[in-house]
Copies of this chain bind each other. A is one copy, B any other.
């Protein structure tokens, strides 16, 4: 198949920042892209070859879009699965496969999959709705505290809550959910796996999510994770196993806990380029986006090693500011060694809205960490006057 400067068409469902970063590589290889997104202001709107506006959850819209392209991929899991299944049946190549996506879209099914395949994961119990969970607690079958997770449509911390007393369940949606045992962990880790249809498979180094000590929010994604080599090897081996068991094609980001006694438990997976791999644009021989593209086109995978240490800081809208975005002090951080801001292109900021990220690279990971802290304390995502 000739992908380069040819009539071949890659379809991408979703036109947000992940798609935008993927388009850097489709442009580099001059691969034609069609993008479908519900918003006229999608960051992908320019730099794709054709933009289509439409609902990603609507069967007809996704199906009709899929019929226009040769290979279909997605940058967001919340897409119409039935349309993908039908397209695959009719011979459109859909990667990751909708069969895999089906196993991942619902966290209850995903957890069951881990158990079926002897993949270590925290204990859990599935519930059809919130009411049946409450009954289970009242019957003393589910013990407090635990982590409540809705099984579908959760993202970025939405749909996850620590439950220490029954009243913590107030105001949660009465939807399908799981109750997961709280695992005391030392580190939250992630490994990105890429795999092509021929079965070639590679893992990126283990990254570490460093949390703010009080706010309990991820502040830095650090590559490589500052953990023992043996623990890192174990994490990579488990991630490889997860990808193979899912028979996954494309990128699979595997989020994991490192427990107090150095066990690795799989938390959840995302079948696409992932926030924990953004550092790879600057730090890796091959970025996660290029490797996603290589994988879904069944091209050889690129080297996943790092050239230098990389740390990522998210840029989110500051509380108290809404409106036309201003990146205060961005000129200042541009003056520091190895600092690259990525601005996703959303014109309006809102509290906590993901507006961009900053990558800090350095030969010395401690120096990178020091600069990353300065970056975090300096740049502000606010609104103009």
CB contacts (< 8 Å) of A303 on chain B: these are 337-338
Of A87-95, A110-118, A339-347, the one touching chain B:
A339-347
Asked if A2 is an interface residue, CB under 8 A from chain B, the answer is yes
Instruction: Contact check, A346 vs B20: say whether CB atoms are below 8 A apart.
Output: no
- Closest Cβ of chain B to A309, distance in Å, is 11
Against B, the Cβ 8 Å flags (1 = close, 0 = not) of A282-310 are: 00011000100010000110110001100
A345 pairs with B46, CB closer than 8 A:
no
Q: Whole-angstrom distance between the alpha carbons of A29 and B24 in the complex?
A: 13
Could you tell me if B29 and A343 are in contact, using CB atoms closer than 8 angstroms?
Answer: yes
| Contacting residues, chain B, for A294 (C-beta < 8 A) | 334
Distance between Cα atoms of A339 and B300 in the complex (Å): 11
For the complex, what is the distance from the CA of A326 to the CA of B6, rounded to whole Å? Answer: 8
Is A331 among interface residues, defined by CB-CB distance under 8 A? yes
Residues of B contacting A30 in the complex (Cβ-Cβ under 8 angstroms): 343-345
**Is residue A28 within 8 Å, beta carbon to beta carbon, of the partner chain?**
yes
Contact B334 A302 (CB under 8 A): yes
Across the interface, do A27 and B24 meet the contact criterion of CB distance under 8 Å?
yes
B2 touches A27 (CB 8 A): no
A290 to B281, CA, bound (A): 14
Q: Is the CB–CB distance between B300 and A335 below 8 Å?
A: yes
Question: Is the beta-carbon distance between B47 and A361 smaller than 8 angstroms?
Answer: no
- Among candidates B5, B300, B330, residue contacting A4 with C-beta atoms closer than 8 Å: B330
Nearest CB on B from A17, distance (A): 10
A30 to chain B, nearest CB (A): 4
Query: In the bound complex, do residue A346 and residue B5 qualify as a contact, i.e. CB atoms below 8 Å apart?
Result: yes
Contacting pair A300 B27 (CB below 8 A): no
Taking CB atoms, residues of chain B closer than 8 Å to A340 are: 28, 286, 290, 302
How far apart sit A326 and B47, CA to CA, in the bound complex (Å)?
A: 23
Q: Chain B residues near A347 (CB, 8 Å)?
A: 5
**Nearest residue in B to A306 (C-beta to C-beta)?**
B307
Bound: A326/B327 CA distance, A: 43
Q: A375 at the A/B interface (Cβ < 8 Å)?
A: no
B334 near A299 with CB under 8 A, answer yes
* Chain B residues with CB below 8 A from A334, complex form: 294, 299-300, 302
A49 close to chain B: CB less than 8 A: yes
A133 to chain B, nearest CB (A): 42
Q: Kindly list chain B residues whose C-beta atoms are within 8 Å of the C-beta of A302.
A: 334, 339-340
Tell me if A325 counts as interface (CB < 8 A to partner B). yes
Q: Residue-by-residue, is A11-37 near B (CB-CB < 8 Å gives 1, otherwise 0)?
A: 000000000100110011110000000
Other contacts beyond A5-B325, A46-B46: 13, CB < 8 A: A5-B343, A5-B347, A24-B27, A27-B47, A28-B341, A28-B342, A46-B48, A286-B340, A299-B331, A300-B331, A300-B335, A302-B334, A302-B339
Q: Which 4 A-B pairs have the closest CB atoms?
A: A300-B335, A30-B345, A30-B343, A47-B47
CB<8 Å pairs between A and B, sample of 17: A2-B326, A2-B327, A2-B384, A4-B325, A4-B327, A5-B347, A27-B345, A28-B341, A30-B345, A46-B47, A46-B48, A285-B337, A286-B340, A290-B340, A299-B331, A302-B334, A303-B338
